[in-house]
Chain A
């Protein structure tokens, strides 16, 4: 242990602790902007600089570790002045029109500036010149604004270290240094998988999703349109904070009430489609397993479109091992515009189908040419959790004033298996529950498969399903996925079934989720909500879902049937994606 004093308070911390972390341990919060524990400790913003007795210069507290006998002052006149001036310098390059910024109230720069009481500045405005901005495409689901960027490098780090993609990099040198797509590519040429982790780690609004709410409001206003909205499981775990109900999650039924109030005709649950995905995916797994197709390489889940984009751009030769099942969003869209449209007697073209997702990749997915029939997209708009929050707020809806309403019938009926889709391991567990039933004819015991739960980056479990043994692995975060792929290719590991979710912790930690001003990683906490919902659900296995049974009975015959194949499966080769730079060079 190392002993030191911070603001005259003695503290003892393990060797190797950074000054900022040591201060935190005794409740002294050193303001910072670029610092992200373990991920970005590069002292770029210099806001966290503190006075260390005996040192000539101020010392950044995020990138330096404590030493025995150190005497640190976080609020000395010199530290205070340096902090304020450095924030003012950052502000001089920042578009400070907070009133038209979606991060207002949830912006680290705004908060620190307000906290420091900065009321004006002597510095000239130095925002980047206009043409550099207009070059950014407006049609890509991810949008970058260099006039907001602090050059904190968090996006570079998270994309490189957590997702192993390196889409972002420092661009140029000198005073015009900025962040841009690496290797001088433009974003549409890049192997960006649209996980959105750069957005949720951006301290300001330099990165955000493309806002698609205007189209949704237009559809709500159009008389002839029947509006259908599906809500992904992870969304219900994350609304509380931003809807000002504190950290308590808003119940799914309250969300339904809010969406009804906005004016959606039908409010459904994506968990229904997750149940449907399970029926198809576990059937496919058993088929492939029995056909001996998984000897060399496992079957991978395909419900995460960012993971599909990753596979296509990084490991194109292994795309065939992805399950052909569509993601729940797209299964939902397909059923909505066929079976459901028929059942309510509406022309599919008159249905406007919206999904609320914790995700940006879903925006790209629903626009794929393979996700439409007769020129009509199965899902017309996919909006993020953040966008739906903005819609609810713009309608002046206060959750506490609402009376809970259940999801609409029929596509609002889901089981606990569909709900846990939003957490890492959830798809695997849900699939195993059904596969177990398909093979043994018996319902699995409760929590039989819980070894695949939890925040561990790479989980393994082996289960017997009748005669067959299924070796499973679950990873979240694409750097972990890459490690797993490399291990599989090197034949260091062997599995039959692998679940991959691109965002650490799964969809609950998705790139479309509300952003923590305190830089908390909330995936684990949010996934507890999903498992609690699963636990109290009367139906916990997808095959028990009565609407699913009805759907197969009336329309699709059985899982894996030709009709199901046509409606619920897709060809991942039916569209193209820019390859990783490494692979492009090979070509």
Chain B
């Protein structure tokens, strides 16, 4: 009930008119049904009694009006509901998107939340849970209304019929209970299978896998696995279908019994007053239809309640996700002002959530304004983690990171973010125009500056060749005329973006991995002039890049192994830095190369 409540609240926020429309629809459906029970009674009574032409025609016209008018109304409802339902579905997705964008970043790298998101998305997209739930809730609502209306009619017949119907309801409840247990069982069994099936089915169509599939002849392996899971899903579903066939068969028998008993009982009431006050044949049709309608309503109601319960349980991951803590909720108050003067890590230890071992232990170092620092270490040493901590994507377990003498977490988040620009190794571009990707602004960007940066990162030729120049949009999925860029070109855009941002600290994490040697060298050689007087941090596996830097921070096994200039480090011939540098350098020594 609580879940239902919070879901309805969410839906109400998104689209109150959708819910109102559904309520109106439920009322109209119940009204139509009720009138269809009452009106024939008057008509038949009139036909069997006075046979007053005017009265007969009056009731006849009312019946026609009810049926036609209500059908018309239904169509009208459906016209608006389609749009609203679609809107609700997309908006609920957007709500989740909003949530993701507001989440504390650390959630985004935690496999648990990644999985939670997948599960939430699966329920919403694959089971169409939201639309399903809302329409079922309205069905339950309508079912209750009609049930109430029908009961009002049936009560006038006296207790016997109520008793019969009660017995029927009990029988149906019994059938439902066993079926609903099965539904819950099968459906909960099914979710993991469905997800697995979905994963393997996607391998058929996802572009990135297709080369491997063809060259390594994986199609049998994949299609066999997909089929195996599909068969598994079918096995479960078949079990459920067969159970449902039995139960619904039973329900149908109960319905027929109700109809037969009802005709007998009400029929007897029309003959004499032995079982209660005598009634008319017209009332007979009304009561019998009402009784049949009653079981029918119980039926839809029961079905609706089961589905609502079931779908609500699907929505658990969604609701759990929507309740996660948001980032902006806990930010310092001090606005960050002025350039970065000093960056100081003191005794920083950090463990990724749910990891056993810390990735950084007791890390301390200081960077001063305008310095160019290179972080060097093996894959997985913790270089990128340092960057993430600095960007406040995670918080240190212990120790402090201070900028200008103050813990970075005490600064207001938005103003702090303004001080940092970064190119990540998995940088992303968006399907906006090139200019917007660089300036991160829709309007009011400094076009001259964009052009200068494009020039400096070496993209001028490329962009001059485009029909729409810097206004060209990225991405074919968005626009047929959208442009695509190679990995190297994309990296150059990402670099330009970092440089456009007026931040006093620039972080470049593997910014040139996809660049060809010439472009890479150009970028590195220009870095110093590009970053101007900003404080800069580089991470690169190209050891030659560290030659440019003022100092090099060596991270080994989560601790600072050294922090010195290139010249000094190269004198320590047993150090990691020396080994790393030499392993690449030996391939480029011209003397040795000549001797090969």
Q: Tell me whether A and B are bound partners.
A: no
Interface residues of A (CB under 8 A from B): none
Interface residues of B (CB under 8 A from A): none
